[in-house]
Chains A and B, each alone.
Chain A
């Protein structure tokens, strides 16, 4: 019988395998809620963080496991930003690092990656890989250049600057592209990581137009993937909102699989991607995984699979990050739907 890790690799290679792989965490907070601990409590304790996270992944039997999800604000903190730990989710950025083009010059990526926080994050990844022993597929989670730009400048200012200050946007995106690449390379120094998971929530189909997506999002994801290609890792991209009108642009980036929001019709996405890019998704994390019964969650997950799993190249994922109130029983039912489906 194939391992979870092999099943995931088959999906990324568009090979038919004995079952569909499933993952549950696009962000990283839900396992900590389930375990009744907070990330802040666990800082300075990489083995405890990894164990808490991985224990939940084992219990729900996820094939796809992320490291670093829910901790992306730590990278901003390492650059000199201020973050705030909150009880109901991932740490938040509490002050913006950039107000003008000159502020970008003051940021030092190499120095940031030498910070204690980043060493801590890499140690969590190392410990997760050790606990995993090659069974599940481990992906390093990070942010795409456009979303990082929003974290540094503020999404509102970034949005306005797309029209009013193109020079700032270009300079900032060049910086965040370097930052994204450097972050992934830093984390990929851990042996046993299978892939990179790039989250780009601010490039949501509800936020930016297809035109801005093509100009300010696509070239930078392409560049990140081009520079990381020598590592030979699997790659998964998640973008929030309805991105149906721009799915056709993703093939050129070199991404292997795209994770879509529950707003996207999976069958239509499958048709547009046409086997050139893999697809994952997309049960609604609140209105399905949190609010329905386990049996109903199972049925909804099967609908996703039925819509998009034919011919391989599919992984079952929630359409966005799990809600803190999602029950473990429901999440287990979600994964079971994939594991019980036979190709």
Chain B
């Protein structure tokens, strides 16, 4: 294993352990030694966050752990970005938000952090987002994916409004629709004509990678 690979692996470990001091030191070392920052992000930060997602799926990590690890990943990414000759090619552009009528956004925020760590560009519209806002943002930003979440059973029907409005606008085929959140299921996604459903952040990334 090369010195660079060893550093990337240690960086992944620092992300998994939410060890901010180590992550900062490793990122600065990678920069100082002139190693490839893009590879460090991909093989250190993305790999680390992927493992964090696995731990969440196995109930070894919980929401505070995800947030803690994601904060370290953000810090390390900010350092490594200084070493990028140009912005890395995005793996895809995602417009996301919590659906109209719902203000629960902690899950959506975590998924956004994972998407960014995995190399996707994310435009987070926040919470209580109307169908029109989703669609306008996706069109203007030339998004590939619309990712919509809801925790509340009372608002999940509003996700269908986005899909119907896209059809009315003749733009349904322009975007993949991914849904998630406690109030929705795989079956619900199929019923309303969404393209995919993910139960958590790790599954979201796996699904996006397949799209």
**A contact set with B: CB distance below 8 Å:** 86-89, 92, 94, 155-156, 159-160, 162-164, 206-209, 212, 242, 245, 285-287, 290, 323-325
Contacts and interface: CB of A to CB of B under 8 A. Distances in A.
B63 A208 contact: yes
Interface stretch (B64-72, B74-82, B84-92, B131-139): B64-72
A325 B64 contact: no
Interface string B91-122: 00000000001010010010000000000000
Contacts of B68: 160, 163-164
Given A155-B106, A286-B183, A162 B64 contact: yes
Interface of B: 18, 59, 61-65, 67-68, 71, 101, 103, 106, 109, 152-155, 183, 185
A209 B58 CA distance: 12
A252 to B, nearest CB: 21
A159 B153 contact: no
Contacts, number: 54
Contacts of A87: 101
B181 to A, nearest CB: 12
Contacts of A163: 18, 64, 68
Contacts of A286: 153, 183
Contacts of A159: 63-64, 67, 106
Given A286-B183, A324-B154, A325-B153, A88 B64 contact: no
B79 to A, nearest CB: 19
B71 A160 contact: yes
Contacts of A164: 68
Contacts of B106: 155-156, 159
Contacts of A86: 101
Contact of B64 (A160, A206, A287, A290): A160
A206 B57 CA distance: 10
A307 B103 CA distance: 36
B185 A323 contact: no
Contact of A160 (B59, B67, B103, B183): B67
Contact of A208 (B62, B71, B154): B62
A245 B61 CA distance: 14
B62 A323 contact: no
A248 B67 CA distance: 27
Contact of B155 (A88, A160, A212, A245): A88
A94 B127 CA distance: 12
Contacts of B101: 86-88
A94 B103 CA distance: 9
Contacts of A207: 62-63
